[in-house]
Structure 1
Amino acid sequence: MTLSSAGKQGAKIAPSDVSERNLFALPERASQDVPQVREALRCSTPGNSGEPATQKTHGPLKLWEARKTETTKRAWRAVSGAVVLELERGAAFLLVPVFLSVGVVAYFSLQYEPSWTSLLGMTVLATGAVWLSRHRYSLQLCLLALLLCLVGIWLSRLETWRLGTRIIGAEISVRLTGRVVEIEDMASGRKRLTLDVISTERPKLRYQPERVRLSARKVSPDIGPGSDVTGLVRLLPPAGPIRPGSYDTSFAAYFSGIGASGFFLSGPELSSHTAAPVTARIGAAIERARQTIAGRIRQSVGGPEGEIAAALIVGVRAGIPEKINEAMRKTGLYHIISISGLHMALVAGTVMGLMRGLFALFPDFSSRRPVKKYAALTALLATVAYLLISGMVVAAVRSFIMLAVMLIAVLFDRSALTMRNLAISAIIVIVVTPHEVVGPSFQMSFAATAALVGAYAAWSDYRTRRVSAPVPARRSLAGTLLHRLLVMMLGLAATSMVAGAATTLYAAWHFQRVAPLSLLANLAVMPVVSIIVMPFAVFASIAMPLGLDGPFLYVMGQGLTVMIYLSERIADMSPLDAVGLISATSVLFATLALVVGTMATTWLRWVSLPFAIMSLATLAGARAPDILVSEDARLLAVVMGDGTIAVNRPRPNAFTIDNWGRALDAQGIQPPERLKQWNPDDLPPKMKGESKGIGAGTGFRCVDRVCIVRHPSGARIVQAPDADSARAFCTTASLIVIEDATARSPCHNAAAAVITRRQLAQKGSAEIFLSPGSLPGRAASTGSRPEIRFSIEGDYRPWHTQRRFSREARGMPPYERKKPASSANAPEKTIANEAD
């Protein structure tokens, strides 16, 4: 890349002057002459053109303009010089994964699927613009950033097309034959099986999913990974987001290759074995080894500690009690259970330390050989084995890539802990699995790693610039141990604070929860995990083939007992962790602050402070809805004046109501009150119950299947089973939810807004924002109705196309099984394949 027309002298910088270390770096000569660089960057500023001003000024104004121009020139020189220095140090390469991620996020945020022709056209135009701007370096950098964003969109589009996961569109009972991929023990005592579908019958599905996930009450010991099983199953399509903007089960299922979930109605039973592909046989062998190791660990350790030990060593964590999971989440320690960068780093560090210690026993060999590289290679192979045996979950694969890049850097005499290596890891992950960019795991792991690498680099620069302190006096053994303990605790505290500051906002945005005592919990628990749990897990894994793993697993179990005790005690001390909805604008500013603060090496890193301040200022900018409606129209939640939410069902779905409660920052749940009957004389337009206390702020009152609640604003919300029941409330209610897919709105030209189950089946769950005009009797006069937002706006994306095939989305009533004419010899009946 050349930089021409630099300065008025017409000096040119030859391609040979470009730094060989970085293709994106400017020549070294550019940093020696900032005015020439300014001209080359083609960025005009007031007073830098060298031409006389056309507007005359007199007196004090002339002096002020001269000072202003000189100040602007100095500021520009400082900024341009810092930018040039950052580019020379490789900042452009560090921004490559950032712009790729922008393109990925843009693709998954679209409300329609972009066509191949439009993408190709934009890419050709962007590529041509980059080539035409080759003599204008600053413009070319901007166009390259745009081209990288388009590459991110291409990667996402190609992954979506390549996967093409088949997802069923309706519930169906079918006899299924499949090959077991994985078997997990659940905390409830049930088994969860992941099956590759071989065939279906009665009925035979024409749109057959390739992989399903089913639960069973019990599984025969003869059934294992690689076995062919058959049974009568109930298949369910994945649900959409629990509320608009929340976790989308359909999205996760599509990119995991899961076409349906459900449960066994009978079976599973062993079926005749069919020939499996080589890859399937290898995967089955690895899975059998995982299950064998997990069973051995559970038998040796036992209890919850055994389940956690199995999760740490082989990644099987379905059996961990939910109480312990919740305690770990409240204390910010759940990253210990999920195999990620922490586990990979501890395994690699333990193996590398063992190898260095082993080589130290042979000083003559160590003095003549690069034993550090040997240790790094051994650690790399150990992490590969750990990745395979842990199940190769996405978080573990991403962490392995990051660690592998750093270990390979050691093999080639490069610094391991650098932002460049982190950027390489991010690029690999984005190219292989771009959909992970929009998930919390990718965002939080890379944010934490970038913050730690940036903080370590800043600390190293500070120590380099600091004047050397006098050598301290020699300490006693006790003093040395105390000093090292203090240094370790300070290091843990600094690591927890840096990583926590980088990831807290992402956790709050995705999960609407924070861990107020995470620093205390990590300081208390991490020494146990780092010194006892993970090292002895490595020792147990090494000794397991020899049958000598018992003592190591025992010590590991004792460490896990301490970890569980501390996490539960700290969780009891922790206040409520729900924080409500977080503004996306705040997350955007925080991301900009993180990118600038971690990637900049000059004074430009202070530019991150304004972005951080803007992030805090817009933190509470998200507008919380007044009402939430599930996609099956059965569950409603209304925000009440005392901070609680009123629900229309006495036992709502625990997962859904927990998510809603955290999003709405609810202080409690108001269950509905069941009444025997309404007073006929006081039914709409006015209910007798209102004079008895059914006023604003009270919970749902239900008679039969009709439920009514009054919002603190005075708006009335009604849930009705059908259109006939809802018609009576058209003039008095602000919102009516009809739990009938065949119903149409009975409130034509009326004040009430109506949501039917068919709308929810097509567009997903809904959130409603009440406006002043939505109060009873005012909507008709002001023309204002509640604002309704569904989870799916616009066209269906590939992970939502199955929704149009459900009976509810087509306005059909629930399926009713026909009674056989003769029950003695009647064939097995199943519902029709609605997806066809």
Structure 2
Amino acid sequence: MPYARIRAFFADSSTSFVLWIPVFIAAGIGCFFLSGGGPPLYVFAILSVLLFAGAAIGWLLRGRLWSQPCGYLLLAIMLMILGALAAHIRVAVLATPILARDMPHVIVHGIVEKIVRYEDGGQHLYIRSPAFSSHKGDTYQSGLEALRIRVRPQWIRDELRIGDKVRLAAGLHSLPAPSMPGGYDYARALWFSGVGGVGYAKAPIEIMASAPNHNFRPRLYQWRLDISARLLAQAGGSTAGTVMVALLTGLRGEIPQYVVTDLRHAGLAHLLAISGLHMGLMVGAIFFASRAAMAALPSLALTLHIKKVAAIVAMAGGLAYLLVSGASLPTVRAFIMAGIVLCAVVLDRRAMTLRLVAVAATVILLIWPESILSVSFQMSFAAVTALIAIYSQFERRMKSWWLGRGWGDKLAFYVLAVLGTTIVAEMALAPITLYHFNILAHYGLLANAIAMPIMVFWVMPCLLMLCLLYPLQMEGVIIPILKFGIEIIISTASWVAGLPGATGVYESPSFITFLIIIFAGLWLCLWRGKARYLGCVVALTVLALLPKKHASDILIGTKGTLYAVRDGTGALEFSPQAARQKRVVRDWVRKAGQEEPAQLVHNNGYRCDNLGCIMNVKGVSVAFTSEMDGMVEDCAKTAVVIASFYVPKELCQQPQLVLGLNDFRQNGSYALWITHTPKGPYHIEWKTVKDTRGDWPWANHRY
């Protein structure tokens, strides 16, 4: 019977359901953030009641319910409700106040909470509890938790430290909106970090008082800055020195941009993000070194269980590395997993399983639900899940093959293992990289085959030695050796990135396509038996039947002066104002899968003069006008009018669509689609940033 088969199917895979706990929690969090502003409070009250009711039913019927398909369905619903509640509580508790309007000139007073340094000498200052001064000299509290202010090198006269009370003239803006409908919302990331506004310094910074900060987090951050400055000075300010500092402290701002680009194009960008690789190597090195040291002392080796003591020492070392490196989400995930592995060593248990990944993901999602939207979270867990899933399939075969083999065979096995690990990780990360960054490194396998052994056997052991020698002020002994290893990795990245066809730029897949691919990957990794391949079959079938994503034909910026039209080849051609808004252009180009912006060419129906441009887009005449003088003519001759000034609607009623500065101020950027239908000549659809962004606390809808 069908029901009996379904029941047998679930019973056969019931032991793997625990692996799906973070998946269902993440689904609930995702539904919350896709709701466009969060459901009303009474909805969450109902969900809370349902959650507790489901838990009570599960407890009362635990002997009969959990072996039934409906039991798994109830569990899945409960976990999704739990995820949505966690996200709602996080947003409600955080409640970061935001700057309501732009302030072109204001005097800011506050305490330096964080400093991010860059290669050009500039800095980003995070000012805690900022206060503003009026033109009369009166100071009043802003009500904000923190501001992020960009400071150019010429405005930095004295060395700033965490806890300094500063005064500076600045121009402030509300949190930035996405550059296009459906684009990345940087305001969300700032809001969750406690930042309510951004700005730039307009004059030198004045240090009003050097107040020592007794709080742990600011003192820890200042310690990281001091370590960074000292090591960078020891390294002579070299490029390898900036990478060395990033690997230890997590401060990557001073790495030259060309190095970051080369590493990304060579498929080696993961080396800069302190995650499982770095934490695993650091903790492993501490574990084996401390165990070997205790084994060399008979008094300790005969009286202590040195393996368990070494695990505790390694856990303490991992915690220290977590704090020094800045405790980013990938590092926290790696530390949780390393801690569980070491606890398993102490308890004589096997720990390197997918359950370990599920525990780490569940902890992070319940504490920081917004991390599901983070690229680092997605990439970190995708890679480690795929690697452990593959390893668990071949673990016994590899162990049996390894025993009794010579050094030559073991070396060959290591090389193949590195290549296999790289292939699995690249395949797991490819959908995420393509969706968020629109770029794939074609020669990542080659670059990792060269760089990974150097990273594992050279750079990370030297980094551990650096940590041991730093308190003794003897780090100068190991830094030249460490620098040389890093320079080899940088040179490898530069060489691979310079090869013909090293990278490919692709258009972003649709959100539905992205979700289907992720679900298929999770099904393949988490399910047991032959049923795991069913996910791939279903995913491929759905992807084949889905209609192809239709990219927008016209993009218009928030002021109406920047616009881009998609030509016959699918590439975006920009207006002459593209050079003035490089960040927006870069975002549009990246999403379009285009390497460099092309200037708007005056052919194929494009006609431009001092008043604007009239162009033919899919047989529809579109006017982009910058002066009121050309408005009457454009309204009479074109079907779509885009103006960079306020347009009274009664002056231009003939075109099908008229957009002016008032529309852009209310709705943000626009994306337009022109489609020809059998019933009429054409149909125009559009989306705005306001439509796709939702009504969230970080979206003040002032564009």
Q: Distance in 2 between matches of 1:471 and 1:408?
A: 27
Q: Distance in 2 between matches of 1:292 and 1:668?
A: 39
Q: 2:676 maps to what in 1?
A: 772
State yes or no: 1:802 paired with 2:692. no
Off by >4 Å, runs of 4+ in structure 1 = 129-133, 203-207, 273-276, 461-464, 468-472, 746-749
Counterpart of 1:639, as a letter, is R
Q: 1:27 maps to what in 2?
A: none
Q: 2:224 maps to what in 1?
A: 290
Is the 8 Å Cα contact of residues 405 and 425 (structure 1) preserved in structure 2?
A: no
Normalising to structure 2: TM-score of the pair?
0.91
Q: 1:402 to 1:334 in 2, by over 3 A?
A: same
Counterpart of 1:387, as a letter, is L
Q: Distance in 1 between matches of 2:303 and 2:79?
A: 46
Is the 8 Å Cα contact of residues 166 and 207 (structure 1) preserved in structure 2?
A: no
Describe the superposition over 1:513-563 as per-residue Cα deviations: whole angstroms up to 9, x where unpaired: 211111111111111111111211111111011121112111111111111
Shift of 1:110: 1.0
Counterpart of 1:156, as a letter, is A
Aligned pairs for 1:365-384 (under 5 A) are 365-366=300-301, 368-384=303-319
Root mean square deviation of aligned Cα:
2.7
Q: 1:265 maps to what in 2?
A: 202
Q: Distance in 2 between matches of 1:471 and 1:233?
A: 67
**Which one of 246, 260, 279 corresponds to residue 183 of structure 2?**
246
Q: 2:162 maps to what in 1?
A: 225
Describe the superposition over 1:186-214 as per-residue Cα deviations: whole angstroms up to 9, x where unpaired: 12221221111342111656653211111
State yes or no: 1:583 paired with 2:528. no
Q: Distance in 2 between matches of 1:374 and 1:619?
A: 56
Describe the superposition over 1:53-90 as per-residue Cα deviations: whole angstroms up to 9, x where unpaired: xxxxxxxxxxxxxxxxxxxxxxx2xx644531321x3x
**Which one of 753, 777, 792 corresponds to residue 657 of structure 2?**
753
Q: 2:624 maps to what in 1?
A: 719
Q: Distance in 1 between matches of 2:203 and 2:25?
A: 48
Aligned length: 688
Q: 1:187 maps to what in 2?
A: 119
**Which one of 652, 669, 675 corresponds to residue 597 of structure 2?**
669
Q: Distance in 2 between matches of 1:657 and 1:470?
A: 53
Shift of 1:463: 5.3
Q: 1:150 maps to what in 2?
A: 81
**Which one of 262, 271, 290 corresponds to residue 355 of structure 1?**
290
Helix, strand or coil: the match of 1:786? strand
**Which one of 292, 311, 330 corresponds to residue 395 of structure 1?**
330
**Which one of 707, 729, 735 corresponds to residue 634 of structure 2?**
729
Describe the superposition over 1:138-197 as per-residue Cα deviations: whole angstroms up to 9, x where unpaired: 323212211211111111111111111111132212111111122222122212211113
Is the 8 Å Cα contact of residues 437 and 443 (structure 1) preserved in structure 2?
A: yes
Q: Distance in 2 between matches of 1:422 and 1:335?
A: 19
Q: 1:532 maps to what in 2?
A: 458
Is the 8 Å Cα contact of residues 325 and 334 (structure 1) preserved in structure 2?
A: yes
Q: Distance in 1 between matches of 2:208 and 2:528?
A: 63
Shift of 1:269: 0.8
**Which one of 582, 590, 595 corresponds to residue 654 of structure 1?**
582
Describe the superposition over 1:375-404 as per-residue Cα deviations: whole angstroms up to 9, x where unpaired: 221121112111211222333233323332
**Which one of 300, 304, 321 corresponds to residue 256 of structure 2?**
321
Counterpart of 1:489, as a letter, is V
Q: 1:554 maps to what in 2?
A: 480
**Which one of 500, 519, 527 corresponds to residue 600 of structure 1?**
527
Counterpart of 2:612, as a letter, is V
**Of the two structures, which has the highest relative contact order with CA contacts closer than 8 Å and spacing of 6 or more?**
2
State yes or no: 1:45 paired with 2:2. yes
Aligned pairs for 1:159-170 (under 5 A) are 159-170=90-101
Is the 8 Å Cα contact of residues 431 and 514 (structure 2) preserved in structure 1?
A: yes
Counterpart of 1:445, as a letter, is S
Is the 8 Å Cα contact of residues 178 and 689 (structure 2) preserved in structure 1?
A: yes
Q: Distance in 2 between matches of 1:207 and 1:291?
A: 28
Describe the superposition over 1:242-290 as per-residue Cα deviations: whole angstroms up to 9, x where unpaired: 22222111111111111111111112111146686x43xx223222221
Describe the superposition over 1:430-456 as per-residue Cα deviations: whole angstroms up to 9, x where unpaired: 011000112221111111111111111
Q: 1:494 maps to what in 2?
A: 420
Aligned pairs for 1:682-721 (under 5 A) are 694-696=603-605, 702-711=608-617, 713-721=618-626
**Which one of 630, 641, 644 corresponds to residue 557 of structure 2?**
630
Q: Distance in 2 between matches of 1:300 and 1:469?
A: 46
Is the 8 Å Cα contact of residues 37 and 696 (structure 2) preserved in structure 1?
A: no
Q: Distance in 2 between matches of 1:272 and 1:297?
A: 27
Helix, strand or coil: the match of 1:444? helix
Q: Which consecutive unaligned segments of at least 5 residues does structure 2 have?
A: none
Q: Distance in 1 between matches of 2:353 and 2:256?
A: 39
Q: 1:484 to 1:656 in 2, by over 3 A?
A: farther
Q: 1:485 to 1:802 in 2, by over 3 A?
A: same
**Which one of 76, 93, 99 corresponds to residue 18 of structure 2?**
93
Is the 8 Å Cα contact of residues 130 and 140 (structure 1) preserved in structure 2?
A: no
Is the 8 Å Cα contact of residues 387 and 397 (structure 1) preserved in structure 2?
A: yes
Aligned pairs for 1:22-33 (under 5 A) are none
Q: 1:817 maps to what in 2?
A: none
Q: 1:34 maps to what in 2?
A: none
Counterpart of 2:514, as a letter, is V
Q: 1:748 to 1:632 in 2, by over 3 A?
A: closer
Q: 2:536 maps to what in 1?
A: 609
Helix, strand or coil: the match of 1:177? strand
Q: Distance in 1 between matches of 2:483 and 2:470?
A: 15
Describe the superposition over 1:648-699 as per-residue Cα deviations: whole angstroms up to 9, x where unpaired: 12514333222222222236433246xxxxxxxxxxxxxxxxxxx7434x5x
Q: 2:689 maps to what in 1?
A: 791
Helix, strand or coil: the match of 1:737? strand
Q: Distance in 2 between matches of 1:566 and 1:98?
A: 37
* Bigger radius of gyration: 1
Describe the superposition over 1:1-49 as per-residue Cα deviations: whole angstroms up to 9, x where unpaired: xxxxxxxxxxxxxxxxxxxxxxxxxxxxxxxxxxxxxxxxxxx628x7x
Shift of 1:484: 3.2
Q: 1:469 to 1:576 in 2, by over 3 A?
A: closer
Q: Distance in 2 between matches of 1:168 and 1:509?
A: 31
Q: Distance in 2 between matches of 1:764 and 1:672?
A: 22
Counterpart of 1:288, as a letter, is Q
Q: Which consecutive unaligned segments of at least 5 residues does structure 1 have?
A: 1-43, 49-75, 674-692, 810-836
Q: 1:352 to 1:725 in 2, by over 3 A?
A: farther
Is the 8 Å Cα contact of residues 506 and 594 (structure 2) preserved in structure 1?
A: no
Shift of 1:363: 5.2
**Which one of 130, 134, 141 corresponds to residue 72 of structure 2?**
141
**Which one of 335, 338, 345 corresponds to residue 270 of structure 2?**
335
Q: Distance in 2 between matches of 1:385 and 1:373?
A: 19
Q: Distance in 2 between matches of 1:619 and 1:659?
A: 26
State yes or no: 1:512 paired with 2:438. yes
Q: 1:174 maps to what in 2?
A: 106
Q: Distance in 2 between matches of 1:444 and 1:405?
A: 21
